[in-house]
Amino acid sequence: MTLVVSRFAILFFFLMTSVYCMLAYVPFAYTHLIASTEVNNPESGPAWLAAFARIHPLIYIPALGLIWVTWPQNRNRRTFFSIYGLLGLVLLIRPVLSNLQLGPMSLAYAVFFLTPLIWIGVLDYRAHREEVPWFASGTHAHPRLFFSALASGLGVAVLYALIALIRQGRAPDFSIVTFSFISHAVIFAGIFVLLHLIHAIATRFETSVWIEFVAGGVMLAILIAATIRQHVLHPISVHGLAAIFYPASVGTAVAIFLAGFGTRLHAGRVKPFDSGLDMVLRPLVSARRAPFRVIVPAVLAVVLSTTTRFFDWNFMIQKLAVVVVWVLAFAAVYSLNFALAPMRRPVVFLAVALVFLAGFKAIDAENLSLDDYAGHDISFRVARELLEPTPLAAELSLYKLLATYTNIPHAVKIDPVEINLVRELVPTVAEKPHVFIFVIDSLRKDYLGAYNPRVTFTPNLDAFARENITMKNAFTRYGATGLSQPSIWAGAMLLHKQYVMPFYPMNALQRLIDVEGYDGYTAYDAILRMILKRSERLGELSENPQKGYFEFCHSTREIMAKLENSPDRPQFFYIQPQNIHISVINREKQSVPPGEKYPGFFEPYAARIKTIDHCFGEFVAFLKAKGLYDKSIIVVTSDHGDALGEGGRWGHAYTIFPEILRIPLIFRIPPAMREKVSWDPDEIAFTIDITPSIYYLLGHRPIEKHRIFGRPLFTETPEERRIRQDHWLVASSYGPVYGLLSRNGEKLYIADGVSFKEYYFDFNRDPEGTTAARLPTEMKERYDRILRQEIAVLNEFYRFNREDERRRAAR
Amino acid sequence: MSLTCPDEDQERRHSILAPLVVLVIFVLTIFTSTRQAASTEKLDAATATRLVKEVDDLKRDKKYEEALAIMERLYEDYPTHINLRRIADINRELERYAEEAEAWEKFMLVAPTPDEACLALGEAYRLAGELEKMVDACERCVAMDPSSDNYRALAEAYTATNRTDSAAEALSALDRR
């Protein structure tokens, strides 16, 4: 048992180290998970990741110790421990993980830290291969294979259906569950057919067990590599050689490590094998007692499904867990080695597999609404993704284009293009009101009474909305903060890169503050630290020291204190409080103050909004008491919404579903300004319209018109804010997922280049936007054409052409 | 190499063939099935007539996006001026004026009486904010059909681009007629 625990601890440690280095190679992951961990930002990496990097050299030593004590007998330690011992010393002097930089060196480290696994695996194998009986028992293996595949497939289908039942809180449609079972049966029948073929080929040779052992290891390596590539690297836009090389390295290292370990565990065995698979799967079923072997994957499935869903990255962790559970379940059932009557005719089993396949094809799945169920039954989600028809060539070409222009790598040097919302930015003679921009991270509009009459916990924000201007049809252009927040400052859509630097030429809002001589203060979160130019004009607001993040009440009290000191000078404040960010809610264990109830709402989220509302009420009362309320532009909005269980989704990751794109947008304009302008609260409005609106209100006119720019929402004549477009590009901040909002925001088309799917929402027919409608092929083709055009317009503005860039690189 | 007897050998040869065939069936069935594509065959006349009626229904229900998508598909197979007029009309409803103007421009190239597009084309350019193109369209229209309506449109176009002298000239040309 000690050996098993030690080996898995070693595997876990080196894998974690490698994954951490890989994160530093990916621009998006580096920005949000590595570079900003010390600022304890909810949008950035979890604290444990930063802690792991800090103490990595200290864990490395005991990890080496574990390798020492489990070292294969009669094998020379000198070379291994000379190299890796020296590395340990280097790590102590100059830790690698906490000094990683974005770039190819991180990828090199990621692969290097896999080498101990390969070394140990090879040594284990070489030390013990002579002690293993490499001959077959001669038993027909197909009944055992068939039973293992079918039982484990249907077992996980039942298990995840039960988990889905608990997660959904209601029984799913019988036909959908049946389809799920058949889908699982087809996949596991396919696995059976493949393993059976390998077995059949292997048994033609004397070394059949060894051949199956190698083939099983290769299959495991391919499975690991494909899973990492598809479910981890593709969503975060890692493409090209790195997307092949790294998953292949991990798959190879883990497979060799486990194969070597399997050999060691079978050392001294006398009884012949049924198949070489016994060797490969042995490390995965280390529990001595048979029931425990089955219980382990079941418990793992339940625990991971219930604990990870709130902070998961669009099902990424849950899908990885499903693949692990599938393998463990198969290994567990296989290890039980039920004594089936040896049937000499495998054709019967193959025929059953074909019957499953025919049954699967016979079901008209198009008529089942599977998306919602697949959000709760993650095993079915994975099965469905595997079995779904391949996208058409034209669709693949679009997805390729989306991926090409998404998360443009750090190494690609792009010069900034000035975003000039007016021809010449010079100070105006207009009176300068105070400007307060409150971007409440992840705030959904349907959690404010101003937008949803069922809400009773936001009386202050509702009163504020009533006496001011509520844009009823507001959206963000970007899912997630990465690009949403910078786009608010730019007043325009941005190139999909984090970030084009220096950002200042594109930062229309900061340039306005500078030109107009505002005293500014902002909460410098991880993103603003990167994009804002440090200047005396833009001071710093602090995090709440008790909570460790930018918290609304702390920030508003800080703002009130600043105003007390100099109420007469025009001041600018921008805050992005993180009270209701899903990671903060999870960090605070989804706590709800005792006695508070919010039926029909996600209570931890609603409770925190109530707190925000209370402090907002205090702030407005302060402004009124000081006579500043009528001298202030106040904007209350959010950078994006959030998924709170819709279709099993949580958080905002890289999706741009309606609950992510819809946001509140409430303006207060000083009465003297208000009486001179008009607006249309029902017209489509975006967060990128905030900066052009402030420009206009401060007297900077006319506002330049461009498809990628925002527009002033308040103008003296309707013509000045007239919209000359019917489609608005929206995108995810982090993945190749783009969309089009059309017809004044009545329709939303999404081309999801991560899951290769399209979604279409018609808010006229489905105001909540909970169910994706079927999209006629003609319309889809039309939307795809427009999507390409809109992306071309964006790239043209920023003078970026990937082909040109590639040609330059080639030269 | 094999240590088995001939009978067993024969059985095992079969046992390779069967899973191999089944595996190929699995792979072909699962991995080569693609999503349903739009038909690339030319729409027959009956289908086209049905689709035109469908477009009319969609327009009545103000579902212009859907109507436009079908019209564009129809236009691919039947590039007639009638279909271009329908596309332009739907784009007007969608307030997509640049696309409307594009459709009218095509209309003028293929229609037997291109001047039918004149007023709408100028208006589309005006709404799209393309005032120079509006002037150009109106000048072409006057050259094609010097009707009073076209002269008035041209004068308006000149006025919109602050060419008051030209506008006055256009109006006096109208008076001279």
Contacts of B92 in chain A (CB under 8 A): none
Percentage of the residues of chain B whose pLDDT score is greater than 90 = 20
| Exposure string over B47-56, b if 16+ CB within 10 A, otherwise e | ebeebbeebe
Q: Between residues A449 and B129, which one has the greater pLDDT?
A: A449
Residue A357 near chain B (CB below 8 Å): yes
* CA–CA distance, A504 with A531 (Å, rounded to integer): 7
CA–CA distance, A117 with A259 (Å, rounded to integer): 11
The answer to whether residue B153 scores a pLDDT higher than 50 is yes
pLDDT at residue A601 in the model: 96
Taking a C-beta distance cutoff of 8 angstroms, is the pair A323, A227 a contact? yes
Residues of A in contact with B68 (CB under 8 A): 782
- Of A701, A741, A747, the closest CA to residue A721 belongs to A701
Residues of A in contact with B160 (CB under 8 A): none
Confidence check: pLDDT of A638 > 60: yes
Task: Yes or no: say if A715 and A721 are a contact pair by the CB < 8 Å rule.
Answer: yes
Q: Note the pLDDT tens digit of each residue in A328-378.
A: 999 999 988 876 655 667 777 888 888 888 888 888 776 677 888 898 999
Q: Please report, rounded to a whole number, the percentage of residues in chain A having pLDDT higher than 70.
A: 96
A and B: number of Cβ contacts within 8 A? 100
* Cβ-count burial A604-620 (b if 16+ within 10 Å, e if not): bbbbbbbbbbbbbbebb
- CB of A343 less than 8 A from some CB of B: no
Mean pLDDT of chain A: 89
Of B26, B66, B74, which to mutate for an interface test with A (greatest number of A Cβ within 10 Å)? B26
Task: Compute φ and ψ for A544, nearest 5 degrees.
Answer: -75, 115
Output the six-digit token pair for A565.
Answer: 């000191």
Round to whole Å and give the CA distance between A273 and A798.
64
d(CA A147, CA A24): 43
Chain B positions touching chain A (beta carbons under 8 Å): 1-3, 11-12, 15-16, 18-20, 22-23, 25-26, 29-38, 64-66, 68-70, 72-73, 94-98, 128-129
CA distance B102 to chain A (A): 15
Q: Can you tell me the ipTM of this complex?
A: 0.76
Between chains, do B26 and A776 touch, taking CB under 8 Å as contact?
no
**Cβ–Cβ of A743/B65 closer than 8 Å?**
yes
Tell me the pTM: 0.82
Instruction: Name the residue with higher pLDDT: A412 or A192.
Output: A192
Let me know how long chain B is. 177
pLDDT tens-digit map of A15-71? 999 999 999 988 778 877 787 654 445 555 567 788 899 999 999 999 999 999 998
> Does the pLDDT at position B5 exceed 50?
no
Which member of B2, B66, B95 has the closest CB to residue A726?
Answer: B95
In this prediction, residue B37 carries a pLDDT of 58
Nearest CA among B105, B108, B118 for reference residue B147: B118
Phi/psi for A740 (5° steps) reads -130, 130
Which residues in A lie closer than 8 A to residue B15 (C-beta atoms)? 142, 200, 346
Q: Which of B22, B68, B133 to substitute to test the interface with A, most A CBs within 10 Å?
A: B22
Residue A206: how many CB atoms within 10 A of its CB? 15
Omega prior to A433 cis, within 30 of 0: no
pLDDT of residue B8: 52
Number of neighbours of residue A473 by Cβ within 10 angstroms: 19
B172 to chain A, closest Cα gap in Å? 31
**So what's the pLDDT on residue A533?**
93
Q: Do A196 and B19 touch (CB under 8 A)?
A: yes
Mutation target vs A (from B2, B4, B9, B15; most A CBs, 10 A cutoff) = B15
Q: Do A347 and B65 touch (CB under 8 A)?
A: no
B contact test, residue of A134, A187, A204, A384 with most B CBs within 10 A: A204
Q: Within an 8 Å CB–CB cutoff, is residue A785 touching chain B?
A: no
Q: Which pLDDT band holds residue A809 (cuts at 50, 70, 90)?
A: low
Higher-scoring residue by pLDDT: A809, A516: A516
pLDDT in tens, B77-97: 888 999 999 999 999 988 888
A747–B contact, CB cutoff 8 A: yes
